[in-house]
Chains A and B, each alone.
Chain A
């Protein structure tokens, strides 16, 4: 079964943005650009619409097929913070199969048993069951001794370690970043340097153990500086961020808006600007949704009692496209952040339009306007801090392995 997409605006993180055609043969991309259209191919005229790699959302907390379909996401890296925790091969294998065929779930196994931060997880066994990386979960590993062993062991297993970098000694009990907003609202807050402190330690340990480390969300200027310098030294480090931390500052939590309660918390405007600069200069490798749908039982509470997290899968692309419209980065680079780079972190041969790679594709109208509405989201819950924001960019079709996902 062959499909030829014609008259597309092709966006490939490797090749760039070009006008042309793309041929899918079975489950893989067979050719792009100028090729002879096989007579038996089904022809789909895209009439100038964009054809790009489907998104790979690194570090979601929920397998939410509807939200991923709406957001143009074909693969997710699933955080180990599940019930039960992803620290056993049976559980990992079940998670890996939980989204197929529409959504491929790549489990991130618990780096420590039960995510308790003490004993090493069975990394090799879990990798053989389908885990693509190991992760510390929502928390940082407080013990430097444990973290060093964990990184060294993960390196032996050739697994990247996905880290949540916030020094728990500083963030204990905190629900916001220290600053005027937290002060005015009387909210327990932690200084922004809690992140850089954690990043500094983990970078040194990763450098020493030669482990691959991925900071799932980095959000402060001081931490970007550390990562930028480490990359220059050749440390195997990558990092990510969410659209919320790129587009909102801590002012968004004003009036105790629990939908803006995130982990790490929203930062001040200076750090937000630093995050945009870090996207532009390549310090940030990945933009992810941090998808964490939470219902009213977790969010319709006083701010300090509410759970952190946002529902982000279906808004990830539209919010990120703003970076292109603002001319911060070109669209092919955005798809590196949303598809090619997360694929690399997870060791997947995916996320580009290169012939031979899986035909995980989206058809996109990057200019189509719509409005984010918390109440009408298809995700498990509509806890978005972007309620009622007008955005642009609609996914018109999503293909996983050449098959149209309804």
Chain B
């Protein structure tokens, strides 16, 4: 029996449980709508662990993964999610396509639309690009990451991981550490976790901390050690190499000294604290291998597993209207 069986979302019929055409961000979702998606994902966790992982509910539908920015993991995760639901999945690697020849984003969107996609998954390097495309197409659009803005399925899979491992998201002290300024993962997680009543602390050097971050109902820290006191979850972010060139941090070794998650540092958190990372990791920079690979405390591979389940849930829910599912049409 899951705690969320008693959530308000479980009581709502059909479309009322999730009345959104697109999933462009966590912003704009009600807490019970987030819980609804997490609840929907649970069944797919079970299916994915069984031998026969296929379901035919998206049979005949075309899912286009339009990735304007290079990605391996997220693209693969969305592709597997679509295929396990029976969709015809097409990947468009726009990073090496006509977009480079000067075609505008709107023209690309109109083209995808004309090809009668039934659901479009988009990753783009500019904040807001997915919202823009969503305004121009007739099918549901799923944001797989836009600039520094949002990466909603990452936040959902993180919330699902926390909920399954800790029993609940509410009341958990979650510490997010790293390049908060440039991170869509951090933004979506701040929104999702605070909506689900977690206590969120964000840690970064001042050069990588966005202005007015406390207005997102999180507590900012520059001192990682102080932030770790009593933490239930420690979520590390990837530090990009270009941040050194931009003058945000002096070097990876200095970053490691102040913000690297070492076993000694982790000892400041609760003894059973969970370690998370959206990947890909820079081992020895933001996280040490012994922490990343810790058999009981690291949830990093589980995050990847939850990613497929969450994306299956999102693809299923967003296409219910066009599939004519009762209560959703």
Chain A residues near B (Cβ < 8 Å): 178-180, 182-189, 191, 255-256, 296-297, 300-305
Query: B27 near A: Cβ within 8 Å?
Result: yes
Show 10 residue pairs from A and B whose CB-CB distance is below 8 angstroms, ordered by the A residue.
Answer: A182-B210, A186-B148, A186-B187, A187-B149, A189-B211, A255-B128, A256-B132, A302-B128, A302-B147, A304-B147
Query: B177 near A: Cβ within 8 Å?
Result: no
Across the interface, B27 reaches (CB within 8 A) one of A182, A184, A188, A302, namely A184
- Using A185-B128, A256-B132, A300-B104 as known contacts, say yes or no to A180 and B215 having CB atoms under 8 A apart: yes
Contact between B127 and A304, CB atoms less than 8 A apart: yes
Task: Tell me, in angstroms, the Cα distance from A155 to B148 when the chains sit together.
Answer: 46
Task: Tell me, in angstroms, the Cα distance from A305 to B146 when the chains sit together.
Answer: 13
Task: Tell me, in angstroms, the Cα distance from A219 to B215 when the chains sit together.
Answer: 23
**Complex: chain A residue closest to B209, CB-CB:** A183
Residues of A within 8 A of B187 (CB): 184, 186
**Complex: chain B residue closest to A191, CB-CB:** B211
Residues of A within 8 A of B150 (CB): 186
Nearest CB of chain B from residue A168's CB, rounded to whole Å: 15
Contact between B128 and A179, CB atoms less than 8 A apart: no
Query: B277 near A: Cβ within 8 Å?
Result: no
Residues of A within 8 A of B132 (CB): 256, 300-302
Contact between A183 and B129, CB atoms less than 8 A apart: no
Contact between B184 and A186, CB atoms less than 8 A apart: yes
Q: Is the interface of A mostly helix, strand, loop or mixed?
A: loop
Contact between A256 and B127, CB atoms less than 8 A apart: yes
Contact residues, B119-153 vs A (CB, 8 A): 124, 126-129, 131-132, 146-150
Chain A CB within 10 Å — which of B104, B184, B210 has the most? Answer: B210
Contact between B105 and A302, CB atoms less than 8 A apart: yes
Residues of B within 8 A of A303 (CB): 126-128
Q: Is the interface of B mostly helix, strand, loop or mixed?
A: mixed
Task: Tell me, in angstroms, the Cα distance from A187 to B146 when the chains sit together.
Answer: 11
Residues of A within 8 A of B105 (CB): 301-302, 305
Residues of B within 8 A of A296 (CB): 106
Nearest CB of chain A from residue B61's CB, rounded to whole Å: 27
- Using A179-B211, A184-B216, A186-B184 as known contacts, say yes or no to A255 and B147 having CB atoms under 8 A apart: no
Question: Hey, what's the 0/1 contact readout for B23-34 against A, CB within 8 Å counting as 1?
Answer: 000010000000
**Complex: chain B residue closest to A256, CB-CB:** B128
A-B contact count (CB 8 A): 72
Contact between B215 and A185, CB atoms less than 8 A apart: no
Across the interface, B211 reaches (CB within 8 A) one of A182, A186, A302, namely A182
Contact between B149 and A180, CB atoms less than 8 A apart: no
Contact between A255 and B131, CB atoms less than 8 A apart: yes
Contact between A302 and B127, CB atoms less than 8 A apart: yes
Nearest CB of chain B from residue A298's CB, rounded to whole Å: 10
Contact between B104 and A301, CB atoms less than 8 A apart: yes
Across the interface, A183 reaches (CB within 8 A) one of B106, B131, B146, B213, namely B213
Nearest CB of chain A from residue B292's CB, rounded to whole Å: 26
Contact between B128 and A183, CB atoms less than 8 A apart: no
Task: Tell me, in angstroms, the Cα distance from A326 to B184 when the chains sit together.
Answer: 41
Contact between A304 and B104, CB atoms less than 8 A apart: no
Nearest CB of chain B from residue A99's CB, rounded to whole Å: 32
Contact residues, B198-234 vs A (CB, 8 A): 210-213, 215-216
Residues of A within 8 A of B210 (CB): 182-183
Contact between A186 and B106, CB atoms less than 8 A apart: no
Task: Tell me, in angstroms, the Cα distance from A186 to B106 when the chains sit together.
Answer: 21
Contact between B129 and A302, CB atoms less than 8 A apart: yes
Residues of B within 8 A of A301 (CB): 104-106, 132
Task: Tell me, in angstroms, the Cα distance from A256 to B216 when the chains sit together.
Answer: 18
Nearest CB of chain A from residue B146's CB, rounded to whole Å: 8
Residues of B within 8 A of A178 (CB): 211-212
Task: Tell me, in angstroms, the Cα distance from A303 to B210 when the chains sit together.
Answer: 18
Contact between B211 and A187, CB atoms less than 8 A apart: no
Task: Tell me, in angstroms, the Cα distance from A185 to B184 when the chains sit together.
Answer: 9
Residues of A within 8 A of B149 (CB): 185-187
Residues of A within 8 A of B147 (CB): 186-187, 302, 304
- Using A256-B131, A304-B147 as known contacts, say yes or no to A180 and B212 having CB atoms under 8 A apart: yes
Nearest CB of chain B from residue A143's CB, rounded to whole Å: 20
**Complex: chain B residue closest to A187, CB-CB:** B127
Task: Tell me, in angstroms, the Cα distance from A126 to B35 when the chains sit together.
Answer: 67
Contact residues, B252-297 vs A (CB, 8 A): none
Task: Tell me, in angstroms, the Cα distance from A182 to B150 when the chains sit together.
Answer: 13
Residues of A within 8 A of B27 (CB): 184
Nearest CB of chain B from residue A59's CB, rounded to whole Å: 29
Task: Tell me, in angstroms, the Cα distance from A300 to B105 when the chains sit together.
Answer: 9
Task: Tell me, in angstroms, the Cα distance from A255 to B104 when the chains sit together.
Answer: 19
Question: Hey, what's the 0/1 contact readout for B78-89 against A, CB within 8 Å counting as 1?
Answer: 000000000000
Nearest CB of chain A from residue B137's CB, rounded to whole Å: 14
6 nearest A-B pairs in the assembled complex, by CB-CB distance: A256-B128, A186-B148, A302-B126, A186-B149, A178-B211, A302-B129
Task: Tell me, in angstroms, the Cα distance from A296 to B104 when the chains sit together.
Answer: 10
Nearest CB of chain A from residue B187's CB, rounded to whole Å: 6
Nearest CB of chain A from residue B239's CB, rounded to whole Å: 17
Chain B CB within 10 Å — which of A179, A186, A188, A301 has the most? Answer: A186
Contact between B212 and A183, CB atoms less than 8 A apart: yes
**Complex: chain B residue closest to A305, CB-CB:** B126
Inter-chain pairs besides A180-B212, A184-B27, A186-B146, 20 sampled, C-beta below 8 Å: A178-B211, A180-B215, A182-B211, A183-B210, A183-B211, A183-B213, A183-B215, A184-B187, A184-B216, A187-B149, A191-B211, A256-B132, A301-B104, A301-B132, A302-B127, A302-B128, A302-B146, A302-B147, A304-B127, A304-B147
